[in-house]
Structure 1
Amino acid sequence: MKFIVNFAKTIRNHWKKSIVFTGIGIYGVKYANELYEEDLLRREYCAEAKKFGDQASSFGEKSRKITVFLNPAARGGRGRKLFEKNAAPLLYLAGIEVNVVKTEYEGQVKEFFKYLETQHVDGIVVAGGNGTLVETVTGILRKENTTFSRKVPVGVIPVGETNMFATYFYGADKTEVRRMLDAAMAVVKGSTEKLDVLKIEGDGGKTTYALCGLQAGVYRDARGRASKYWYLGPLKHRFTYLRSSFGLWPPVMHGKLEYTEARDTDIPVKKAAEKFIEEKPAQQSRSFVMSILGIFSGHFRSKMQKAAPEAEEDEVEVEYTNTHTVDTNLESLEITISTGYQTQERKGISLGLAPANISKTHFISEGWRRISEPIWKMDWDTNSQVPCRRVKLEPEVNPEKESWYNIDGEQFEAMPIEVTLLKNKLKFFKCQTQPS
């Protein structure tokens, strides 16, 4: 009893220190509990991955070969640690043959794909942020061997600072650890989904490919400057929109815009796509007994992942006649060009244009509203949305001022571009339950 009385007097006499240490104690307990729950989650996923590995080895299945492009500099140098702690154990326990390629400079991944062929890998995994993923997608689709993009699926382990595509594809409502575990388990299970890709052709034959889309204008510029105000802490994301409203207003984008609308009256015309013929290795035959056992055990899963025949629609390219093209001057505060991944009816490219005459107050309030929206969101309700087959953009660039595009979260120099949509172009490892 005496101890309780003395403890109460101490708190009363030193109430300020007591509040501080109580807050620190509560935070410490909460942090320790989060670490404990994350550790339990890792154990649960590891146990599930081991079941796949044991099942494959018991029937003599050949190990799948996965090449991982790891950016160790991601997340301030924590990329390697995050991958090895959350994703790598699942891949190894599943009996997958993992070849890790650590990137050292920009453009290295694209160079690597010049020598990588379908017989070398059964899948590609990107362990990095937006930049590593853009390089990987671009490197795959620049290959002369088009069979590679049709047969080799891609996985993404989101260990970067911002993971625009992975946050959307693997779930924006999950913790970072859960998202990485789900992404790794998607590779283990091998279920895939075909996704559309934007082909962005620039001056000088420069071609980049995007999974989400392109954004340019005052909102992109404001968001890009937020890191300059690091000293404001979490308020930097709000201050950047306030600061961007100073000076000449409105900062309208000017240039030429040409787009072909996607209409129901467009007439599709199929033409044969160019094929890259490669020699296929002979398949290993199975005994009748092993085949029957495989049906009940589900071990044919990996076989189907490796050599599932492509549908006929993937062997043709579709062009359209009876189309309508609009040629106009660009006057807008913002332009977005996306794959239309946010909409249920994906008719084509989604072209978004913001009004050119909004007030500063409206700009600030809209910018602050976007802070709480998912990082992958691009087709904003405040912009007019036009479904298109093709978009050609020629922005007016001030030589005294830098102008940039945001492509899948990465910064690219603004230049004249032509954007087309490649339907069902790449296969990605997906979770069994996709985000709504």
Structure 2
Amino acid sequence: MAFAIKYAKVIRNNWKKSVVAVVSAVYGGKYAKGKYDQEWIRREFCAEALKYGSAKISIKERPRKITVFLNPAASGGGALKVFEKNAAPILHAAGLDVNVVKVEYEGQVKKFLSIMERSDTDGIVVAGGDGTLLETVTGIMRKEDKTFRQHIPVGVIPLGLKNRFAKLLFGGDKDEVLLMCECAMSIVRGLGRSVDIISLKEDNGRTAYALCGLETGAFMEAEQRKSKYWYFGGLKHRMTYIRSAFSDWPPVFKAKISYVLATEENTKPKSGQQNQQPNEQPKGSWFSMLFKPKIIKPHVELTEEETDDENDMMETRDLSAVELTTVSTCLQDPEQTVKGLEVGIGPAEPSVWEFITEGWRRVSEPSLRLGTKSNETMLVKKIRIEPEDATKFYSIDGELFESVPVTIELLKKRIKFFCVDPDFKIS
């Protein structure tokens, strides 16, 4: 009892130091528990991957070859360390033949893919941010050999800032270590689904490809400028909307848009096309039975869907709005029967306070969607955008592009992506 009284007096006489000690202990305990939980997650996933690596294969089989495009500049320059700590052990434990290609400059991935053949790899993995993923998708889609994208699936190891597409596939509410481990494990399992791709064709014939969508306007510009207000610390996200509202008002995006509204009739696949057809499962010989090879699941090939464009009717309108978004099916309601591009058009003349309030709401309630539900929306089969101001920019999957006239179209079931759940669908 005397010890307790003495201890209480010490705390009372040194209450400032005591508060600091308690706060430090609490935060230190949470930090230690977080590190322990992350290490436990890594061990569990490696143990599961080891089951695949320990399975015997026949003489005729070989380990799956995986090509990893790693962007060392991601994760603040620590992408290699993060990849080797979280994803690489899972891939190696599963017995995969992993070839890591470090991306040293912009455009290198597209050059590498231009000479890659189907026999060179069994899968491609993008270890980086949204920019590296965008370049990889563009490189795959530009290949003359269409069978490459029909047979070679793509995996994602999210190492960037936003990782929008990876979070759409695996869930955006996960711890970053759990997210990376689940992404790596999906590559080991080899299960995947086809994904719709957005085609963005310029007048000069150059075509880029995206997964999520395009956005332009005042909110996108404000988001891009937030790094300039670093001296506001945690308030820089909110301050950027205040400065944007008073610097150039009204901050509208003006353009002429032409579009074909999507209907159930004009978005149907051409007659004679079939969806995915599984190949027959290979039969093993009596000799291979001695080695008890791992069961080979039916391989699902990707059959691209084409639509009939002969009876399309274009509609045209002049646009003046604070925001314009064009998003793919991966950001839409999966129960939606008609598949097309969802175009969102913000208000034409919002008040200053409405603009700031909406910007602050996006800071407080971050979402993987583009735009907001209150925007005017329409579902289109294709759309052409002709901006008035050439100094503006588009944000395509988080990467900035010049705002030139562009025709945007949805290409259905073009690339297979590894995912966790074999019944999971995003298109």
Taking structure 2 as the reference length, what is the TM-score of the superposition? 0.90
Give secondary structure in 1 for the equivalent of 2:11: helix
Please say if 1:381 is aligned against 2:373: yes
Specify which of 360, 378, 382 is matched with residue 352 of structure 2.
360
Q: Which whole-Å deviations, capped at 9, do the CAs of 1:197-218 have from their partners, x for residues lacking one? A: 0001124333211100000000
8 A Cα contact 2:57 2:291, kept in partner: no
Gaps in structure 2 of 5+ consecutive residues: 274-280
Residues 352/16 of structure 1: CA separation in 2 closer, same or farther (3 Å cut): same
8 A Cα contact 2:324 2:345, kept in partner: yes
Q: Note the C-alpha offset of 1:309.
A: 4.2
Please say if 1:51 is aligned against 2:51: yes
Aligned residue identity for 2:379: P
Aligned twin of 1:131? 131
**Alignment partners' CA distance in 2, 1:233 and 1:322:** 55
8 A Cα contact 1:67 1:123, kept in partner: yes
8 A Cα contact 1:338 1:379, kept in partner: no
Give secondary structure in 1 for the equivalent of 2:306: strand
Give secondary structure in 2 for the equivalent of 1:423: strand
**Alignment partners' CA distance in 1, 2:265 and 2:60:** 54
Give secondary structure in 2 for the equivalent of 1:172: coil
Residues 184/327 of structure 1: CA separation in 2 closer, same or farther (3 Å cut): same
Residues 267/322 of structure 1: CA separation in 2 closer, same or farther (3 Å cut): farther
Aligned twin of 2:229? 229
Aligned twin of 1:343? 333
Q: Which shifted more, 68-77 or 321-330?
A: 321-330
8 A Cα contact 1:172 1:435, kept in partner: no
Q: Which whole-Å deviations, capped at 9, do the CAs of 1:203-236 have from their partners, x for residues lacking one? A: 4333211100000000101111111122222221
Aligned residue identity for 2:64: R
**Alignment partners' CA distance in 2, 1:260 and 1:237:** 37
Q: Which shifted more, 127-136 or 341-350?
A: 341-350
Aligned twin of 2:87? 87
Superposed, 1:25-40 pairs within 5 Å as 25-40=25-40
Residues 325/292 of structure 1: CA separation in 2 closer, same or farther (3 Å cut): farther
**Alignment partners' CA distance in 2, 1:54 and 1:372:** 47
Q: Note the C-alpha offset of 1:9.
A: 2.5
Q: Which whole-Å deviations, capped at 9, do the CAs of 1:72-102 have from their partners, x for residues lacking one? A: 1101111111111110011001110000000
Q: Note the C-alpha offset of 1:320.
A: 3.1
Give secondary structure in 2 for the equivalent of 1:196: strand
Give secondary structure in 2 for the equivalent of 1:329: strand
Q: Which whole-Å deviations, capped at 9, do the CAs of 1:376-417 have from their partners, x for residues lacking one? A: 21152111111111110011125xxx4211111112222111
Please say if 1:334 is aligned against 2:323: yes
Please say if 1:391 is aligned against 2:387: no
Aligned pairs, number: 415
**Alignment partners' CA distance in 2, 1:387 and 1:51:** 46
Superposed, 1:192-341 pairs within 5 Å as 192-266=192-266, 268=268, 270=270, 286-288=284-286, 290=288, 299-301=295-297, 304-305=298-299, 308-311=300-303, 314=304, 317-341=306-330
Q: Note the C-alpha offset of 1:65.
A: 0.3
Residues 260/86 of structure 1: CA separation in 2 closer, same or farther (3 Å cut): same
Aligned residue identity for 1:358: P
Aligned twin of 2:276? none
Aligned twin of 1:9? 9
Q: Note the C-alpha offset of 1:12.
A: 1.6
8 A Cα contact 2:302 2:414, kept in partner: no
Task: Percent identity, please.
Answer: 45
Specify which of 369, 378, 384 is matched with residue 361 of structure 2.
369
**Alignment partners' CA distance in 1, 2:250 and 2:389:** 16
Give secondary structure in 2 for the equivalent of 1:204: coil
**Alignment partners' CA distance in 2, 1:53 and 1:323:** 52
Aligned twin of 2:411? 422
Aligned twin of 1:19? 19
Please say if 1:410 is aligned against 2:410: no
Residues 340/186 of structure 1: CA separation in 2 closer, same or farther (3 Å cut): same
Q: Note the C-alpha offset of 1:20.
A: 2.1
Aligned residue identity for 1:404: F
Q: Note the C-alpha offset of 1:268.
A: 5.0
Superposed, 1:77-226 pairs within 5 Å as 77-226=77-226
**Alignment partners' CA distance in 1, 2:48 and 2:261:** 47
Runs of 4+ in 1 over 6 A off after TM superposition: 291-294
Q: Which whole-Å deviations, capped at 9, do the CAs of 1:136-170 have from their partners, x for residues lacking one? A: 00010011111111110000000112211111111
Aligned residue identity for 1:130: D
Aligned residue identity for 1:385: T
8 A Cα contact 1:212 1:376, kept in partner: no
Residues 269/152 of structure 1: CA separation in 2 closer, same or farther (3 Å cut): closer
Residues 230/272 of structure 1: CA separation in 2 closer, same or farther (3 Å cut): farther
8 A Cα contact 1:191 1:431, kept in partner: yes
Residues 393/264 of structure 1: CA separation in 2 closer, same or farther (3 Å cut): same
Q: Which shifted more, 142-151 or 226-235?
A: 226-235
8 A Cα contact 1:257 1:392, kept in partner: yes
**Alignment partners' CA distance in 1, 2:186 and 2:64:** 14
**Alignment partners' CA distance in 2, 1:248 and 1:162:** 27
8 A Cα contact 1:340 1:349, kept in partner: yes
Q: Note the C-alpha offset of 1:189.
A: 0.3
Gaps in structure 1 of 5+ consecutive residues: 274-282
Give secondary structure in 2 for the equivalent of 1:136: helix
Residues 310/26 of structure 1: CA separation in 2 closer, same or farther (3 Å cut): closer
8 A Cα contact 1:230 1:236, kept in partner: yes
8 A Cα contact 2:56 2:294, kept in partner: no
**Alignment partners' CA distance in 1, 2:80 and 2:407:** 36
